[in-house]
Amino acid sequence: MDSKLVALGIETFKIALELALPGLLVGMFLGLAVSIFQATTQINEMTLSFIPKIIGVIIIIILTMPWMLNEMTDFAKEVFNMIPTFVQ
């Protein structure tokens, strides 16, 4: 029983990382692009670094939302189907 719980915990962390990865990658790459742009033009505006990242992450979340919902519902169904094995 303990090994099933450990496996469930590991799977939970994997799914959380998998769902967070698109937004994090877009934020990282947009932050890098804006930093390079700011370094080359010597524009040090604080809002210039945040606004593109926020817009990019929102767009990626909207575009990947159906996939994310499908992954979450599949995982939830899997967890609910495992409940009887934990009760014994």
Does residue 1 surpass a pLDDT of 70? no
Q: Given pLDDT bands bounded at 50, 70 and 90, which one contains residue 84?
A: confident
**Helix or strand or coil: residue 78?**
helix
pLDDT, tens digit, 9 for 90 and up, residues 24-62: 999 999 999 998 988 898 888 877 888 989 999 999 999
Using CA atoms, how far apart are residues 69 and 15, in angstroms rounded to an integer? Answer: 12
Q: What integer pLDDT is reported at residue 44 of this predicted model?
A: 80
Count of structural domains, the chain? 1
Q: What is the average pLDDT score of the chain?
A: 91
Does residue 88 surpass a pLDDT of 80? no
Give 29-76 as a 3 state SS string. Answer: HHHHHHHHHHHHHCCCCHHHHHHHHHHHHHHHHHHHHHHHHHHHHHHH
Q: What integer pLDDT is reported at residue 46 of this predicted model?
A: 78
- Expressed as residue numbers, the domain containing 11 is 2-87
